[in-house]
Every structure is written in C-alpha cells, then in structure tokens.
Structure 1
Amino acid sequence: MRFEIILLGVIQGLTEWLPISSTGHLKLAEIILGLRLPLLFDIILHMGTLAITILFFRSDVKEVLRALVKLDLYKSEGGIMLQRILISTAFTATIGPLIMSLESLFHEVKMIGRLFLVSGLIIYLSKIKVDRDKHVNPGEAALIGAMQGFSVLPGLSRSGLTISAALMLGVRREEAFKFSFLLSIPAILGGLIITLITQHDALQKVELGAGEILLGAFISAFLGYFSLKILRRTLKHFHNFAFYPLLLGSLLVLLGGS
C-alpha cells in the first residue's frame, strides 16, 4: 500500500497543477495499474491542494477576502476579482454536475485518450491570442467558469482549459494564470463539502494509516508547489504543454482498441 500511496501522491502532485489532467492520469492508474485513490486520501490531497493554492496566491486571496468582508464587488481590484470568481463559480456549479452525470461514458482508455486530444488541441490554440484587458470581464468569467465545469471529465485539464480560454479571449498571461487558480479555490472547497456530506458512511469504513496519508500528502504538496512555480515561469510558452496530452491521447486511442 505504501508504494501505491507514493505513486498516487506523485501523480496527483505533478498533474493537479500542470495542464495535463490529474483526473485523467488517476483514472488511467486505476484502469491500467489497478490503483484506486482511497476516498480519505483523496480528500486529504484536495485539502492540501486548497492550502497550497491559498499559500501560493496569498496576497491575492487577502485582497479578495477583504473585498468579501466589505461586500465590495466593484470598487477595488480585489472586489472586481471577487465578482468575476462568483460569476465563474456559478457557471461551474451549473455545468459541472451535468457533465459529471456523463462521466461513466468516459471510463474507457480510448475515450479518455480522445479527451486528452481535445485538451491538447485547446491548449495549443491558446497561442492564438492578443493581449487586451488586465481584468477578465463578466462574459469571459462565465465562459471560463463553464470550461472549468467541463474539466470534471478524465482527460480534460482544468488549468489547461481555463488558462487557454482566458488567453484566447485576450487576457494577459499572468492574469489568466492567477484567475484560473483563484477560481479553483471555491470549486475545490465545494467539492470537499459535497464529498464529506454524501460519502460520510464510506469515510468511516476507510482503513488507511496516518503515516501513509501524511507521506502521500507531503509528496503531493511538495511536488505541487514546485509544479505551480514551473507553470508560472513557462507561461510565455504555455501552448507547448499541448504536446504531452496530444501524444498521450494519440497513444491511448491507438492502443485502446475499437
């Protein structure tokens, strides 16, 4: 079990942040290697993901929280960002559950491969852009939130789809990067709350040692933080991330059979 926890921690830590789909890789690990992410471990990892995101963007999070306390949605930069996040989250919360109901149709290797191809194509198309506004406008926030909703499918990268959508809409690279991950905070938090409520009985039956949980969480958090730093430094060449999902998707489609 310890080897499985380490491997799952590595997969989660690297793929959760880079635009290459963590859900796709975890589903492949389950199908091909028989590795399934324990529910409790999954929750711990997502708590770690939430903590790392807040830590990495702590100054922006402070501005948004300050605006929230003041009920400011228009005056300050934090208020404008809060408004856009709320709009995006509303669209994610609407579309995400609808797409999730179709998830069972995308559990075959070949179908996951096709979604990797779609993700790679969208990321590559992000090179076609013109820098425009500093802030994401309300309509763009809605579209980016919708893209986040679609990313619940294995093979579609959340960061890949949201950052690419922002770039194709003309949002500056650093702004697109920041908005994508700030937007992930309410999505992850909401997902955690729903899981804790709906899977309460299953959590009580989980048999997993505290040492294994901490080991996997530490590996995931450590790799995740540096993955975020790598992504930020390579924003100018963001479209180059497309080649990995395009290659992996092609292999999965070819090897997945008819």
Structure 2
Amino acid sequence: MLGIFQAFMLGVIQGITEWLPVSSSGHLAIAQNYMGLNLPVSFDIALHVATLLVILLFFRKDVVGILTSLLRRDFRTEHGRLFLLIALGSIPTAIIGFALKGFFESMFADLHLVGGALLITGVLLVSSGKRNGSKNIGKMSAALMGLAQGFSVAPGISRSGATISAALFLGVDRMQAIRYSFLLAVPAILGAMLFELGSLSSSGIGPAPIASGFMASLAVGYFSLRLVIRAVMRRWFRWFAVYCFTAGLALLLLA
C-alpha cells in the first residue's frame, strides 16, 4: 500500500528528475524496486498532471500565444509556426512510444537495463554539453527531437537530456532548444495520460497519498525546471553526466 510519506518522496523524485537530465522514469523505477511498490495508475496520472502544470505555468506566454494562433487559425505567426513544429515532433514520439511500449515497460523490472540507459544518457550529455549554436528550431531539428523524446520513454533515458542534446548536435540555440524541448513534452504527457486513463480502475489508495505526491512534484518541479535552464545556459551538463555514469555503473554492478 502506498503511504503518504512514500507518495511524498516519489513526488519529490519526480519533481527533481523530470526536469534535470537524469531520467525521472529511471529514478522512479529504482525507487519502486527498492520500496517494493507497484504504483497505481491513478498516482502515475497525478504525477503527469503536476508535470504538465509546471510546463504550462512556466511557459504560459508561449502557451497563450499558441492557443491564440490556433483560435485564429493563423500559422504564419511565431507561435503558429511553433505549434506546427510541435505537431511535427510529436509524430515520431508517438510512433516510437507505441511501437516499443511493451519493451520500455518491461525495463522497469530490470535495473541492469535502467543502468545501461543511464550510461547512454551520460554519453549524450558529455558529447553535447559544450556545443554552441545559433539556429532556430526547424523541421529537421523538430523531427530529431521528437525521435529522441520517443526513446526517452525508456527508464534511464532522460527526456530533457535526449531532446536538448539532439538540438545542440544540430547547432540550435540553447534557449530555443530548452523552449521547444519542454513545449514538445505537453502533447506527449497528454497522450500518456489519455492512454493510462483507459486502464484506470479502483486503485485502493486514498486521496491523501495522491495529493501528497502531486503537491511535492508540482512544487519541487517548478524550481527544478529553473535549475535545468540555468544548467543548459551555463554548460553544466557534464556534472549531470558524471551523476548518470555513477548511477548507471552502480546499478550494473550492484542491482
């Protein structure tokens, strides 16, 4: 049974690791294994909602701009073009997510696979951390970032790390990479939530643990998002890479 304190700690883990390039799903897999938990769908949905709210609050100007462009059916504006690029990037995310869903879910039970995925995240962060660029997001970078986001469904592959690294490899401006990376997450999170609603049933846990995890993820997540933006702009990715290498090797050797 998921208790209030366990839910709170899982919310904190989600809030920190969802935004930092260290893989939230990988850390939740580790926590679930060591706590002996199988998280109910209702709790997973609550964490998704918290994550979504953080993005909508932080990038509210862009969200309003995109919605305005949609209502006006004007795709020639900056936000209209941004919507089209988000739609483009969401296609490979959806294809990979559905095609490999079963395999990615099986990884949660095998911490050795999670450890290997964390090592891959570390390699991505090291290889892209010092790259500089000045390009805007285009069709190629949008599609590649969507592809990277699809593979980040695997526990141990950081969504922010994979998508931002993909953009930096293509010479995209750092702030543009951050902005698109997190806005691209919105349809992915909504899609995951809708998919999970289909398997929602009576979870056997009360509202208190769900609320505890939700609030922890929301509050911690907002500050973590600010930190990852600073990390990208100041080229701190290598420090997160060190963490991913350490955690990945520890899982391979000790799990």
| Band of TM-score, shorter chain | over 0.9
Gapped regions of structure 1 (runs ≥ 5): none
In structure 1, the residue matched to 2:57 is 55
Pick from 9, 12, 34 the counterpart of residue 10 of structure 1.
Answer: 12
In structure 2, the residue matched to 1:174 is 175
**Partners of 2:130 and 2:235 within 8 A in 1:** no
Pick from 221, 230, 233 the counterpart of residue 218 of structure 2.
Answer: 221
Cα drift, residue 105 of structure 1: 5.0
Supply the AA of the counterpart residue of 2:208. G
In structure 1, the residue matched to 2:34 is 32
Cα drift, residue 212 of structure 1: 2.2
Matches within 5 A, 1:228-247: 228-235=225-232, 236-240=234-238, 241-247=240-246
**Partners of 1:121 and 1:242 within 8 A in 2:** yes
Distance 2:128 2:83 in 1: 25
Task: Provide Cα deviations, 1:157-191, integer angstroms capped at 9, x if missing partner.
Answer: 11110011111111111111111100000100111
Distance 2:176 2:236 in 1: 13
Distance 1:194 1:108 in 2: 23
Q: Secondary structure at the match of 2:235?
A: helix
**Residue 206 (str. 1) matches residue 223 (str. 2):** no
Distance 1:142 1:72 in 2: 22
Cα gap change, 1:62 to 1:116, in 2 (>3 Å):
same
**Partners of 2:50 and 2:214 within 8 A in 1:** yes
Shift >6 Å, 4+ stretches? none
Which is further off, 178-187 or 118-127? 118-127
Distance 1:111 1:60 in 2: 37
**Partners of 1:4 and 1:35 within 8 A in 2:** no
Provide TM-score, normalisation by structure 1: 0.92
Distance 1:167 1:115 in 2: 20
Distance 2:52 2:61 in 1: 15
Supply the AA of the counterpart residue of 2:86. I
Gapped regions of structure 2 (runs ≥ 5): none
Report % sequence identity.
Answer: 41
RMSD, aligned CA: 1.4
In structure 1, the residue matched to 2:94 is 93
Supply the AA of the counterpart residue of 1:52. V
**Partners of 1:92 and 1:145 within 8 A in 2:** yes
